[in-house]
Structure 1
Amino acid sequence: MVSSFFWHRRLQAAVFVSLSLVASALRAQEGLALADARAAALRLDPAVRAAREAVTAAAARERQASALANPTLNYGREQTSRAGQSNAQDIAQVEWPVDVAGQRAARMAAARFRREAAEARLSAATQALDAAVLRAYVDAIRAAHRVQLADAAFRTATEAQRVNDERVRAGDVAGYAGRRLRLEAGRYAARRADAAGQARVALERLALLTGLPTAQIMVPTASAFDSTGTAYSALLSSALGSATAALRALPDVGDSLVTRALANRADVQIAQREAQAAQADARLASRERIPLPAISAGYKGERVQSGASMTGVSLFGFVAGFSMPLPLLDRRASAVAAADAIARQFDAEGDVVRRRVSREVLDALNALRSAEAERTALQPFAGAESRLALRAVNAAYAEGEIALTEWLEAMRAWQETELALLTLTTDIALRRADLARAVGLSLFSPTESNR
C-alpha cells in the first residue's frame, strides 16, 4: 500500500507539472517582426521592382505626350541666269503645325490613364507580396505552436511511461501497460518530428520571401497547452496588426463590402484606367482624321543682276505660308474602327473584373463566417472545462480508477481538440487577412508601408 501510494503521488506530481503549462500566459519570444519581414521582402521582390520601373516609364511617357510638336526649319536657294542676266534667291522659313483637333490633349489623357494604371499595378504587386509575407509569417507561427503542442504531449507521455515503469517494477501494474505506453510515446515522437519538419519548411518559405538566413529567423510563439486559445489568438491578432484593426471597422454586410472593394481594389482601378486609356486612344484616332494645318514664316533675299558691267539690285522681305494635308487616300476609318472596338473590349474586361471582385469579397466573407462559427462551436470543449476534465482523467488513472486505454483515449481527444482549435484560430486570422485584401484594404499601416 505504501509503495502504491508513493507511485500515485509521483504520477500526480508529473501530471501537475505537465498541466501547469495549460495555465501559463503568453510566452512571446523576441523574434522577427512582421513589419521587418515585409520590409525585407519589399527590398528583394523582383515583381515590385519591375512594377516601380513600369511606373517610372509610364510617368516619362506622360511627360513626353505633353510635349509640343517641333517646328521645321526650311532653307532654299534658287539661282538662274540668261543672256547675261542672273537672279539669286535665298529663302529661310520656319514651319509649325497647329493642333486644332485636340490630338495632344487626347494623347496626354491616354498617357495619364496608363500611368495611373501602372501605379495601380504597383499597388497590386505590393498587396500580393504583403499577403504572401503575412501568410508565410502566420504559417511559421502556427508551425512553431504545433511543435510546442507536440513537445508537451511527448513529455507527458514520456513522464507517464517513466512513472508506469516504476510502478511495474513495484508490482502495482502489469507489464502490458508499460509496453503500450512506449508505443504511444513513439506515436507522439513521430508527431513531434513531423511538426518540427513542417516548422522548418515554414521558416524556409519565409526566408525565401525575405532573403534572410533561415537560422536567423525566429517568430513569436504562444504558450503550449493554451487550451482557451486566448494567448494564441492574441498573438495572431498582434501579427495581423492593421488588417485586424481595419476589419473591425468594416460593416458585416456583403453589399457594403462589395462597394468598398469596387472603390478600393487595385485590379478594379487597373481595369478602369485601361478602359479610360482605350477611350482616349479612340478619341485620338478620331481626331487624327482631321488634317493638321501648318503655318510658316521666314525671310527672303533676292539679288538681280543684268549685264556684266551693271550693278546688281538686292531685294529683301518676308515669306508666309499655310499648308494642309489632303485626306484623299487615307481617311483613317479603319484605325478609328479598331480603336473603338478596343475601347469596348476594355469596358467588357472591366465588367469581368468587377464581377470577379464581387464574388471574391462574398466568398471571403462567407469563409470567415464559417470558420468563426466552427471555432465558436469548438470553444466550449477546449476551455477551462477541458482542463478540469483532463486533470480528472489523470487523477483517475493515477488512482487506478480507469484503465490505460481510457487514459490514452482521453489524451488523444484532448490533443486533437487542441490541434483543431489551433487550425481554426489560424484559419480565422488568415481569412480576416484575405477579406481585408479582397476589400482592397492595406494589410499594413502607412507607417509600416514607409519603412
Structure 2
Amino acid sequence: MVSSLIWRRHVPAAALLCVGLQTSLLPAQDSAAARAPATLLSLRDARAAALRLDPAVRVAQEAVAAAAGRERQAAALANPVLAYGREQTSRGRQANAQDIAQIEWPVDLAGQRSARVAAARFRREAAEARLAAARHALDAELVRAYIDAMSAAHRVQLLDGAYRTASEARRVSDERVRAGDVAGYAGRRLRLEEGRYAARLADVVVQARATRERLALLTGVPAERVAVPTLATADSTGTAFGALLDTVLARATVPLALTANHADSLVARALATRADLLGAQRDAQAGLADARLAARERLPLPAISAGYKGEHVQSGANAAGVSLYGFVAGFTVPLPLLDRRGGAVAAADATARQINAEADAVQRRITREVLDALSSLRSAEAERAVLQPFTGAESRLALSALQAAYAEGEITLTEWLEAVRAWQETELALLSLTTNIVLRRAELARAVGLSLFSSTDSTR
C-alpha cells in the first residue's frame, strides 16, 4: 500500500517536466557572458589555477624556503676570531716592542651545534608539512566549490524545467478555458503556480551565480566565463547527476570507496598520513631539540687560540737591538658562576611539553573528524538508498503520461499540481543528497589525509 501511494504521488510526477527540459542549462547568462562565451573549466585546471593564486599556499612555500635557510645556517661552523695586538714600552734608553697575531676558534664539545641542526631540520619538515596541509585545505575548498557549482547548475536545470512545464500546462488550460471545458479558475490558478516556479527559478539562478563567483574567486577566472560539466537537458535526473559527479571526481582521483573500510583502519591511516599532525609532531620534536640545546648550553664553550709573536728589544741608544720570534697558544673557557642557564632550561622544557600536548590535541581532533565524516557519509548514503528507487527514468515516463492525461482532461488540476510538486521535491531532495554524499566523501578523504588529486598534477 505504501509503495502504491509513493508511486501515485511521487513517481508519476517525473514526466511532467519532460516538456520543459528542452532549453539551455543556465538562463542566468548576463550580457558579459554573451560577449565572452564561457569555457568548460575542468577540476584539474581549476586546481592548477587555484594553487598559483592562493596566498596561503604562497605563504607556506616561503615558510619552507625560510626554514630551509635556517637549517643551512644552523649547520654552519662558528667563525674563527683573528686578533692582532702591539705592545711597546720604554724606559730611559731601553725600548721593548711586541707584535702578536693569533686566531681563536671555539670548540663545540657539548654538541650544541648538532642539537641546533636537529631543531632546524624538524622545523623545516614541519614547514613542509604545513605546506602540504595548505594544499590539501585548498583542494578540499576547491572541490567543494566545484561540486556546489555543478549542483547549483543542475538545480537551475530542474527548476527551469518545472517552470516551463507550468507554462505549458497553463497554455493547455487556457485552450480548455476558451473551449469551455474548464472554468476560468484553472487558468488563474496555473498562472499563480507559474509565478511560484518563476520566483523559485530566479532564486536558484542567483544561488548558481554565487557558486560561480566563489569558484572564480578561487581560480581567478571571471565568473561569467566559468562553466562546469552539466547534464544534457533530456537527462536531468538525480541518478544521472550522481553518475556525472562520480565521473568528474574519478578523473580528479578523489577516493570514492572509503566507507568499505573499518573506522579504526581509517583513523589509523589518518594518524599516519595527515600533514597537519605530521607538522605538529615535527614541532614537538623541534621543541625537544631546543630543550636539549638549552641543557647543553649550560656547559661552557671553550676556545683554543694559536698565533705568532714577534718581539724587538733595544737596550741602549748605541747598542744593537735584539729581535725575537715565536708562537703563542692559548685556551679559554667561560666560568659559569653568574649565569647557570637554569631559567632557559626550565622554559625550554616547559615549551617542549606544551608543543607535545598540542600535538596530542591535533591527534584527538583528527580522530574525531574521521569518525564524524564517516558517520555523516553513511547516514547520507542510507537516506539516498531509501529515496533513489522513486526517481529516475521510470518516474519521468510516468510524469510524461500524467502530463498527457491532464492535456486530455482525464485528471484534475489539483492532481496535476500535486504530481509536479511531488516530482520536484523528490528530485531536489535526491539532488541535495547526492551532492552531500559527494561532498562528505571528499571530506572523509581529506580527514583521512588522502590527496584529492594525483601527485603528478601541478603543485605550483
User: TM (normalized to structure 1)?
Assistant: 0.91
How far apart are the structure 2 equivalents of 1:95 and 1:188?
88
| Residue 298 (structure 2) pairs with residue 289 (structure 1) | yes
Q: Is the 8 A contact 1:242 1:443 kept in 2?
A: no
2:65 to 53, 56, 59: 56
Structure 1 residue aligned with 2:28: none
Code of the residue aligned with 1:68 in structure 2: it is L
| Residue 241 (structure 2) pairs with residue 232 (structure 1) | yes
1:170 to 153, 163, 179: 179
Code of the residue aligned with 1:386 in structure 2: it is S
- Counterpart mapping for 1:347-366 below 5 A: 347-366=356-375
Post-superposition offset of 1:225:
6.7
How far apart are the structure 1 equivalents of 2:390 and 2:281?
50
Post-superposition offset of 1:394:
2.6
| Residue 330 (structure 2) pairs with residue 321 (structure 1) | yes
Unaligned segments of structure 1, at least 5 residues: 1-12, 22-28
- Counterpart mapping for 1:96-175 below 5 A: 96-175=105-184
How far apart are the structure 2 equivalents of 1:69 and 1:14?
83
How far apart are the structure 2 equivalents of 1:408 and 1:215?
35
How far apart are the structure 2 equivalents of 1:126 and 1:177?
57
Post-superposition offset of 1:339:
0.5
Residues 225 and 352 of structure 1: CA distance in aligned 2, closer, same or farther (over 3 Å): farther
Code of the residue aligned with 2:203 in structure 1: it is D
How far apart are the structure 2 equivalents of 1:266 and 1:257?
15
Residues 224 and 371 of structure 1: CA distance in aligned 2, closer, same or farther (over 3 Å): farther
Unaligned segments of structure 2, at least 5 residues: 1-14, 24-37
Code of the residue aligned with 1:391 in structure 2: it is S
Structure 1 residue aligned with 2:52: 43
Cα-to-partner distance string for 1:234-271 (whole Å, 9 max, x where unaligned): 22123323666534267521111111111111110111
Q: Is the 8 A contact 1:242 1:445 kept in 2?
A: no
Structure 2 residue aligned with 1:25: none
Give 3-state SS (helix, strand or coil) of 2:101's partner: strand
How far apart are the structure 1 equivalents of 2:189 and 2:258?
53
* TM-align CA RMSD: 2.0
How far apart are the structure 2 equivalents of 1:271 and 1:335?
23
| Residue 245 (structure 2) pairs with residue 207 (structure 1) | no
Cα-to-partner distance string for 1:138-183 (whole Å, 9 max, x where unaligned): 1111111111111111111111111121121112222111111111
How far apart are the structure 2 equivalents of 1:30 and 1:410?
37
How far apart are the structure 2 equivalents of 1:249 and 1:411?
36
Structure 2 residue aligned with 1:414: 423
| Residue 190 (structure 2) pairs with residue 181 (structure 1) | yes
Identify the range of structure 1 (41-50 vs 104-113) with the bigger mean alpha-carbon deviation. 41-50
Give 3-state SS (helix, strand or coil) of 1:177's partner: helix
Post-superposition offset of 1:209:
1.3
Structure 1 residue aligned with 2:31: none
Structure 2 residue aligned with 1:382: 391
Cα-to-partner distance string for 1:26-59 (whole Å, 9 max, x where unaligned): xxx9611111111111111111111111111111
Give 3-state SS (helix, strand or coil) of 1:446's partner: coil
Cα-to-partner distance string for 1:397-432 (whole Å, 9 max, x where unaligned): 234332110110011000000000000011111111
How far apart are the structure 1 equivalents of 2:397 and 2:292?
75
2:202 to 174, 193, 198: 193
Cα-to-partner distance string for 1:355-380 (whole Å, 9 max, x where unaligned): 00000000000111011101000001
Identify the range of structure 1 (249-258 vs 424-433) with the bigger mean alpha-carbon deviation. 249-258
The structure with higher relative contact order (CA 8 Å, sep 6+) is 2
Structure 2 residue aligned with 1:266: 275
How far apart are the structure 1 equivalents of 2:260 and 2:76?
47
How far apart are the structure 1 equivalents of 2:273 and 2:112?
32
Give 3-state SS (helix, strand or coil) of 2:438's partner: helix
Q: Is the 8 A contact 1:243 1:436 kept in 2?
A: no
How far apart are the structure 1 equivalents of 2:216 and 2:169?
38
Cα-to-partner distance string for 1:74-113 (whole Å, 9 max, x where unaligned): 1111111223111111110000000000000000000011
How far apart are the structure 2 equivalents of 1:386 and 1:250?
29
Residues 53 and 66 of structure 1: CA distance in aligned 2, closer, same or farther (over 3 Å): same
Percent identity, please.
73
| Residue 262 (structure 2) pairs with residue 253 (structure 1) | yes
Q: Is the 8 A contact 1:32 1:217 kept in 2?
A: yes
How far apart are the structure 1 equivalents of 2:299 and 2:334?
9
Aligned length: 432
- Counterpart mapping for 1:339-350 below 5 A: 339-350=348-359
Code of the residue aligned with 2:279 in structure 1: it is I
Structure 1 residue aligned with 2:454: 445
How far apart are the structure 2 equivalents of 1:410 and 1:419?
14
How far apart are the structure 1 equivalents of 2:212 and 2:22?
29
Q: Is the 8 A contact 1:14 1:159 kept in 2?
A: no
Q: Is the 8 A contact 1:288 1:332 kept in 2?
A: yes
Structure 2 residue aligned with 1:9: none
How far apart are the structure 2 equivalents of 1:177 and 1:58?
74
Code of the residue aligned with 2:43 in structure 1: it is L
Structure 2 residue aligned with 1:338: 347
Post-superposition offset of 1:231:
2.3
Residues 242 and 99 of structure 1: CA distance in aligned 2, closer, same or farther (over 3 Å): farther
How far apart are the structure 1 equivalents of 2:128 and 2:167?
58
Post-superposition offset of 1:233:
1.3
Residues 144 and 228 of structure 1: CA distance in aligned 2, closer, same or farther (over 3 Å): closer
Structure 2 residue aligned with 1:10: none
Residues 111 and 14 of structure 1: CA distance in aligned 2, closer, same or farther (over 3 Å): closer
Give 3-state SS (helix, strand or coil) of 1:449's partner: coil
How far apart are the structure 1 equivalents of 2:363 and 2:228?
37
Post-superposition offset of 1:230:
3.3
How far apart are the structure 1 equivalents of 2:53 and 2:107?
48
How far apart are the structure 2 equivalents of 1:31 and 1:228?
21
Give 3-state SS (helix, strand or coil) of 2:227's partner: coil
Residues 248 and 361 of structure 1: CA distance in aligned 2, closer, same or farther (over 3 Å): same
Give 3-state SS (helix, strand or coil) of 1:448's partner: coil
